[in-house]
Chains A and B, each alone.
Chain A
């Protein structure tokens, strides 16, 4: 997929954690890279994210994780996407230890972006997973 194809991505924090610095920075990075960002922000549930993804016809869901809930919450999101028969990739960013990368990918997460990921990697990863899915 070339850079000229518009990507629509939902960005959200799932659960109670309020650390939103990373998600806001990523929102601006993706917007600057030409994507359409639907920023849901804090305290979202799998249901509210699915509803937004359906309504906005999103190409991907980006979740930001900070407080060690990723091993529970990210697979829950993947299951909810499958249950809704949405067939769009879930990308996880944030504080994810190396040992958890493979288990998350095995659980169906499309990509994981750890702390310090360069801006161009963030945008390219999102484009790659969306285009692999098309």
Chain B
């Protein structure tokens, strides 16, 4: 090239390539042939820099990506009693699953015990019921907690459940420092989309920052917040709003943690993300790539992170539950495969694939196995794991990535203005004035209208409807689960030292009044005394209050 500018650019690219090559060469690789099915060797990455593992990480967080380690196949499971779910966990581990992911039932998610008036009809239905440490012990019985990584999807009562997990592990001889895993603990998206909150936003965020500082000090392998767009998307948002609201929530946690006195490079490396993978293939891939770029830029430029690990947007992906149809359910296997492929091409660190029968019920064993097999096909048969960011450089993919970023930046500017220069205050304000729920409901309604009007085709629902042979073999949770759980809870409450429980609950209320006290140690003491989840949650109510959303349609 004769043009000066072009030659400088090509030099820079050359340096980036050399640096990437050195990092790649230093990485340990899986012992599999990196070649096509026909035996042609392929490069670890193609196209221009910045390369995978290089700021701003658009092309991936690690230099060798899936050549070193495939994504974690983490299947979300939970139903009925703790023993039922324990058996499903063991089945998934036997079948090659590499991480556990726990779904709790609605009372557990809302901080209610199985014997609460609120819980009638919902015990063990949509996840596993956990009332006390005894249930957590059953849930992870005979599983080596030092040898697996565990994800727990819980938000409002997240600190109580983390306390139970720590207590379970320590009873079994695994130190808390050796525990690896993630607790969702993303309270902002609860007010925006999933609606599983207990307290108002500000005291809830104190619980989040308490967990961030507790895990920073004592649990180096634990991810204290999984900043989740999944539920925002499921509630009906656009892809760009899923991206924007999620990252804005992430910025808000960063601001809250820094305000609580934490150093950004101490906690940011352990923040992780959770995105939806929906059916618009290229939009999803653009969204994943944009997420990495935006997070890196904001962490470095706005928040002054200096460690590269603080800038990495590492994420879990789940296929879009909302895309599953009750009609012709087997067709869902195709939807899930395409969504899983988008997750892999988007560079996800772990993946849950939905089961085809989930439009109507929790999955059967067979359906859950097919879902796991689906991502195993993507990982081991398609060759997509051989090359990092294989679509990078394609004009459409690069345009989509830029477009996702542009739309997200518009949202950040809006929140920054709402919060007078603070994204944290902007998020509080957006929760308070109905911005998030309004945008999500508008997008959900727009989509439904387009489907109802026939502008959008959903195969098997509003077109191609022949051949639906009805619903078969759904998983049913019988009423005995509730009866069993009620007896179990009564027995645990009978056997414990109720004076000790009363003392620790009163300590929790007292400590809640002082925002400088980290509440985690008191929660751990409480669960060890077999205080119930609801008792602990309610001990905070006199200080924190409760939250009722304004009904906006």
Q: Residues of A at under 8 Å CB distance from B?
A: 15-21, 24-25, 27-29, 31, 37, 39-43, 66-69, 71-73, 76, 95, 97-99, 114-116, 118-120
Tell me, in angstroms, the Cα distance from A99 to B477 when the chains sit together: 14
Q: Are A15 and B121 in contact (CB under 8 A)?
A: yes
Q: Are B445 and A42 in contact (CB under 8 A)?
A: no
Contacts of B327 in A (CB 8 A): 116
- Interface residue from A24, A41, A43, A68 paired with B126 (Cβ < 8 Å): A68
Say whether chain B's binding surface is mostly helix, strand, loop, or mixed: loop
**Is B467 an interface position by the 8 A CB rule?**
no
Q: Are A41 and B551 in contact (CB under 8 A)?
A: yes
**Can you list 6 A-B contacts (CB < 8 A)?**
A17-B126, A21-B234, A68-B361, A68-B477, A115-B325, A115-B360
Tell me, in angstroms, the Cα distance from A37 to B552 when the chains sit together: 12
Contacts between the two chains (Cβ within 8 Å), count: 104
A98-B445 contact in complex given A16-B112, A43-B548, C-beta closer than 8 Å: no
**Is B470 an interface position by the 8 A CB rule?**
yes
- With an 8 Å Cβ cutoff, the count of chain B residues facing the other chain is 43
Tell me, rounded to whole Å, the shortest Cβ–Cβ distance linking A82 to chain B. Answer: 18
8 Å CB contacts to A: which residues of B288-302?
Answer: none
Tell me, rounded to whole Å, the shortest Cβ–Cβ distance linking B110 to chain A. Answer: 5
**Is B528 an interface position by the 8 A CB rule?**
no
Ranked 4 nearest A-B pairs via Cβ: A72-B121, A18-B195, A41-B551, A69-B121
Q: For B79, give the chain A residue with the smallest CB separation.
A: A68
Tell me, in angstroms, the Cα distance from A40 to B196 when the chains sit together: 17
Tell me, rounded to whole Å, the shortest Cβ–Cβ distance linking B189 to chain A. Answer: 11
Tell me, rounded to whole Å, the shortest Cβ–Cβ distance linking B537 to chain A. Answer: 13
Tell me, rounded to whole Å, the shortest Cβ–Cβ distance linking A130 to chain B. Answer: 20
A98-B471 contact in complex given A16-B110, A41-B551, C-beta closer than 8 Å: yes
Q: Are A95 and B360 in contact (CB under 8 A)?
A: yes
Q: Residues of B at under 8 Å CB distance from A?
A: 106-107, 109-110, 112, 118-122, 125-126, 194-196, 234-236, 322, 325-327, 359-362, 441, 444-445, 448-449, 452, 458, 461-462, 470-471, 474, 477, 548-549, 551, 553
Tell me, rounded to whole Å, the shortest Cβ–Cβ distance linking A52 to chain B. Answer: 11
Tell me, in angstroms, the Cα distance from A10 to B430 when the chains sit together: 27
Q: Are B553 and A37 in contact (CB under 8 A)?
A: yes
Q: Are B553 and A67 in contact (CB under 8 A)?
A: no
A39-B106 contact in complex given A15-B122, A18-B196, C-beta closer than 8 Å: no
Q: Are B448 and A68 in contact (CB under 8 A)?
A: no
A24-B444 contact in complex given A16-B107, A97-B474, C-beta closer than 8 Å: yes
A67-B452 contact in complex given A15-B121, A28-B553, A39-B553, C-beta closer than 8 Å: no
Tell me, rounded to whole Å, the shortest Cβ–Cβ distance linking B176 to chain A. Answer: 30
Tell me, in angstroms, the Cα distance from A118 to B458 when the chains sit together: 12
Tell me, in angstroms, the Cα distance from A99 to B361 when the chains sit together: 12
Tell me, in angstroms, the Cα distance from A16 to B121 when the chains sit together: 10
Q: Are A42 and B195 in contact (CB under 8 A)?
A: yes
Most buried by B among A17, A39, A66: A17
Most buried by A among B107, B360, B361, B462: B360
Contacts of A42 in B (CB 8 A): 195, 549, 551
Tell me, rounded to whole Å, the shortest Cβ–Cβ distance linking B41 to chain A. Answer: 47
Q: Are B112 and A67 in contact (CB under 8 A)?
A: no
Q: For A118, give the chain B residue with the smallest CB separation.
A: B452
Q: For B108, give the chain A residue with the smallest CB separation.
A: A16
- Interface residue from A27, A76, A99, A119 paired with B553 (Cβ < 8 Å): A27
- Interface residue from A17, A19, A72 paired with B120 (Cβ < 8 Å): A72
Tell me, rounded to whole Å, the shortest Cβ–Cβ distance linking B524 to chain A. Answer: 26
Tell me, rounded to whole Å, the shortest Cβ–Cβ distance linking B117 to chain A. Answer: 8
Most buried by A among B194, B548, B551: B551
Q: Are A68 and B549 in contact (CB under 8 A)?
A: no
Tell me, in angstroms, the Cα distance from A107 to B34 when the chains sit together: 61
**Can you name 13 extra interface pairs (CB under 8 A) apart from A18-B194, A41-B549, A99-B471?**
A17-B122, A17-B126, A21-B234, A40-B551, A67-B126, A68-B125, A68-B361, A95-B326, A95-B360, A98-B471, A116-B326, A116-B327, A116-B458
Q: Are B122 and A16 in contact (CB under 8 A)?
A: yes
Tell me, rounded to whole Å, the shortest Cβ–Cβ distance linking A68 to chain B. Answer: 4
Tell me, in angstroms, the Cα distance from A43 to B125 when the chains sit together: 17
Contacts of B107 in A (CB 8 A): 16
Q: For B479, give the chain A residue with the smallest CB separation.
A: A72
Tell me, in angstroms, the Cα distance from A71 to B474 when the chains sit together: 15
Q: For A73, give the chain B residue with the smallest CB separation.
A: B121
